[in-house]
Structure 1
Amino acid sequence: MPSNVNTLPTLLPASETIFELTVPILIAGAGACGLVAALAAHEAGCEVVILERDPLPRGSTSMSLGALCAVGTRDQSERGVLDTADLFTADVMAKTGGQADPALAHAVGRLSGAAVDWLRDRFDIPLTLDTTWKPAFGHSVMRMHVTPGRSGADLMDRLLYACDLAGIPILTNARVTNLFAERDEVMGVRYKRPDGSTEDIGCGALILATCGFGGNAGMISRHIPDMANARYFGWDGNRGDGILLGAALGGEMADMDAYQGLGLLADPAGIDLNPRFLIEGGIQVNREGLRFSHELDDLSGQGARVIAQPGGVAWVIFDERIHASCADLPQYILLREAGAVVQAGSIETLSARCGINAQGLQKTLSDITDSQTDRWGRLFTGPQLQPPFYAVKVTGALFHTQGGLNVDAEARVLHPTGRHLPNLFAGGGVARGISGRGPSGYLPGAGLCTAIALGYAAGKSAADLVLAGRPKLGTNQPTGPLLGENQRDGTSVR
């Protein structure tokens, strides 16, 4: 499917196809959601194969900060943080203005903590509470969890290693393009190779985990027209394939105008600046040196606010204290290596180096007080910014779409009538998120949170379905190891 279309793919008749291979569970997509789903299904006793469109499994997870919000984890409890699915749901509903699905938000909250503890205990993936992420942007308590590498790439490496140890086959260079179906039941898939050849494989259940549609210009124009001309800072392979496949089978799409924006993309370096710089007391100003928003109010919506400034850019201003506290963040290290961080001993020098109005910046800094809420509703509670000062020039961008197939608490794809499709599951960017409509309902870490929570649910639910014998697998189901060795080199399963 080219990146500028949004038509539904053709369903293929399963009755006219004899699959050379049928596997219990197929997973389309080897990002965080797909890998977690595979681990959950494998642990439940089901053989599973992952199909990945790219030469290497990386995707949106690898581009992220690697931080996910999780609720009620053992690490939270040990650090005295009281968090529940009810509290998380209340935060989600408040942030989205009541637009999110409360049942889905509650399920994601409940599943996220269980999944994080399970990944730590069972697969030695050390997701721990990051106490430097203070409650902000809609979170009422500390619930951001990270791996030691503090990056999405580190999280991906650990998940891939866990799948390697489990012997889970990952077939790369295999893009799922069509579903074989009888009515609304998936019987198999067709996937395409880079050379244009296609291969077919049957399945007892299918989990769609191919991420969102940020890289599909046609779908963006149709569903998020306000961001049609915005810079896209996401994985190019996010073409909406899974969403369109599920919709072709009868799955309902929901909240398709929801997205995660980004107002902290370093310009022109193209590296995202961690929100901690703002949480710790940093500010954003435009070319006139003036603030234009409550920087901690709307992490995702800040992208559009930055784009609306003169030249579509802004500067994050912070000081030595904040610089020192964030010095070990991987993205910040890259920004310093790229020369994207400006340092100066005075406001005048900083302004001259950045092209900011010095008088405006001086007034902005002198107006900041910790005694009262400012005109945008922000109350500064930390020390005032002091020289030497630092600045990073940033712009706004579209990072990730949040709309997708409507799913229930077990990650089953729902029909518009409310019933679930027999053996189709979805998670990650394929599934409807918990951000409501538009950009402003997004909470930090919610993307990875739903990916891991719904991946965990999808893997367990699909395994329960298959092991219960519904639907029955074909007579050509393999009885031994599916591929013998875990493969990521594009080798055919046939």
Structure 2
Amino acid sequence: MPNLEWDLEVDVLVAGAGGAGLAAAILAHDAGASVAITEKLPRPGGNTAISTGSVPGAGTRFQRAAGIEDDGARFERDLLALSGSHDADHLVHALAHRSAELVEWLVDDAGIRLDIITDYRHVGHSVPRLHAPSSRKGEDLTNDLLAAVSRRDIPLALSSPVVSLLQDENRIVVGAVTRSADGAELRIGFKKLILCVNGFGQASDLVRRHCPEIAEAMYVGARGSEGEAIRWGEELGARMGNMKSYQAYAAILHPHGELLSWTTIEKGGILVNEQGDRFGDEAIGYSGFAASVKAQKGPVTAIFDQAIYEIAAREPWFKEILDYGAVKPAGSVRELAVALEVDERRLGAAFETYNRAASGEIADPFGRTEFGVAPLKPTFWHARVVPALLSTQGGLMTDAEGRVLDRSGERIPNLFAAGGAVAGISGREGGIGYSSGSGLLHALGLGWIAARTATREIFSESR
């Protein structure tokens, strides 16, 4: 057994300063625990910082003020309708039914600035329930969380990854070793550890093993998603769940590397291949459609019209991509065909069939039933796109309170997890089960729940 002498002792150590870790640290501090956060990268934020910052909440006061009727039961049905039943159904129930409380805690206790998005519902939601910063940037959500951490004087060590976990004579995890950029090691003892170290999207061996259909796509998620939680979990005998599930994005602007707002497709846009043909039901969502885009052998182009352009332009970050020249106009199908270097008649036929389906004259050959403001009319806007992996959605299995479970389903003492380290709520495999905002709900929500459980156990054990 290692020498269990500590350079620092805290009630709760949070490993990872993404949305899950920051929310966990804030809640644990406010519950009366001593807390420290360690982050392996020089900048905090994780996938939260590069998201749109959208947190779904069902039955919030913000929805009620906007005249939206919603509740946790409806949200749970929506999530499962898209994902199907999976290894973490219990987390779907817990998070859906506590989502309103989470959103209102973020605003009221943590001081996070969120607005209800009423312009559109997005994938997987039967009513508007996404709450996001006015900028629609996860960086602003992250900055608000960091401000809340700073106000509480919670120690946050950047460039200080956890490099190993330490166990006592009973093989219970009681400490961690971190290493700073200059190589100095710090031994931290704790009563509870909350692992929020993200997924394994950058660990090519794990992606090939668990998510082979997306393994060769570019990775555009947070740096540092190298699968530590999976590797530690395997050593500790933890159970894993939903390991084949991932969140992808079907429309990364090429070669610029920025996300094309999926509003352009949700509101009636289409994607065509190098022959000028559509190749699937785009309305299944930006994650679900990514595998279809990846299956194309040549370039793929997203196309939408002026009406959709004007809707998408309400999003501040959509306006930014226009400066890159990644989205270009075409005044007619002929002009568009020339720009894409495809046969005009073939592209025209694709438009005609799609527009007739959007008008209700025929059934869409790919089964699309939601067409937004289509039929599409000139002016057309177009952009070359490629698919990408945003995050993995498999990981450690926890109970509904964030406690990590072993292979027999028993709780591993002192060990909690949240965010990308944990089995997600997007189905057992593939990218089709991902509902908009479910990643942030899972990260922030489970971090918040895990911290509440961990602190409750600490103070119960100390009596």
TM-score by length of 1: 0.88
Q: Tell me, yes or no, if structure 1 residue 147 matches structure 2 residue 133.
A: yes
Corresponding residue number in structure 1 for 2:363 = 373
1:484 corresponds to which residue?
Answer: none
For 1:145 and 1:341, how far apart are their aligned partners in 2? 27
> Which of residues 163, 167, 181 is equivalent to 1:181?
167
Task: Determine if the alignment matches structure 1 residue 468 to structure 2 residue 454.
Answer: no
Q: Deviations over 1:444-465 (max 9, x none)?
A: 1111110011011011111111
In the alignment, is residue 283 of structure 1 matched against residue 275 of structure 2? no
1:392 and 2:383 equivalent? Answer: yes
Cα distance, 1:41 vs. partner? 0.7
Cα shift at 1:383: 4.2
- Residue 88 of structure 1: CA displacement? 2.0
Q: Deviations over 1:34-72 (max 9, x none)?
A: 001111111111121000001111321112122232222
Answer whether contact 2:47 2:221 (CA < 8 A) is retained: yes
Contact 2:55 2:103 in 1 (8 A): no
1:158 alignment counterpart: 144
Runs of 4+ off more than 3 Å: none
Residues 49 and 169 in structure 1, CA contact (< 8 A), matched pair in contact too: yes
Q: Residues of 2 paired with 1:232 and 1:400: CA distance?
A: 8
Tell me how far 1:184 sits from its aligned partner. 4.7
Letter in 1 for 2:380: F
Distance 1:83 1:419 in 2: 35
Task: Quote the sequence identity (%).
Answer: 37
Q: Which one of 387, 390, 411 corresponds to residue 402 of structure 2?
A: 411
Q: Tell me, yes or no, if the aligned pair for 2:397 and 2:405 is still in contact at 8 Å.
A: yes
Instruction: Select the residue among 208, 233, 245 that pairs with 2:220.
Output: 233
Query: What's the offset of the Cα at 1:389?
Result: 1.1
What is the CA–CA distance in structure 2 between the aligned matches of 1:158 and 1:261, rounded to whole Å? 26
Is the partner of 1:300 in helix, strand or coil?
Answer: coil
SS in 2 for 1:440: coil
Amino acid at match of 2:64: S
Q: Over residues 100-155 of structure 1, what are the superposed CA-to-partner deviations in whole Å (9 max), with x where a residue is unaligned?
A: 53221010112222111111112321222211222x53322222221112111111
- Mapping for residues 69-80 of structure 1, pairs under 5 Å: 69-80=56-67
Question: What is the aligned counterpart of 1:382 among 370, 373, 390?
Answer: 373
Q: Is 1:318 aligned to 2:318, yes or no?
A: no
Aligned pair partner of 1:112 in 74, 99, 105? 99
Query: Which structure 2 segments of 5+ residues have no match?
Result: none
CA distance in structure 1 between the aligned counterparts of 2:363 and 2:94, rounded to whole angstroms: 35
Task: State the SS of the aligned residue for 2:337.
Answer: helix
| 1:265 CA drift (Å) | 0.8
Q: When the two structures are superposed, what TM-score results if normalisation uses the length of structure 2?
A: 0.94
Over 3 Å counting, the alpha-carbon distance change for 1:463 and 1:357 in structure 2 is: farther
Are 1:286 and 1:356, in contact at CA under 8 Å, matched by a contact in 2? Answer: no
Alpha-carbon separation, structure 1, partners of 2:316 and 2:45: 17
AA aligned to 1:301 is: G
Is 1:93 paired with 2:80? yes
Note the aligned Cα RMSD (angstroms).
1.8
Is this contact kept in 1: 2:86–2:242, CA < 8 A? no
- 1:359 paired with 2:345, answer yes
- Which residue in the other structure is 2:438 paired with? 446
Count of residue pairs the alignment pairs up = 456
Q: Find the counterpart in structure 1 of residue 206 from structure 2.
A: 219
How far is 1:298 from its partner?
A: 4.0
Corresponding residue SS for 2:109: helix
From the superposition, tell whether residues 100 and 278 of structure 1 become closer, same or farther in structure 2 (CA, over 3 Å). farther
What is the distance in 2 between the residues matched to 1:256 and 1:276?
29
Cα distance in 1, alignment partners of residues 140 and 48 from structure 2: 9
Match of 2:19 in 1: 32
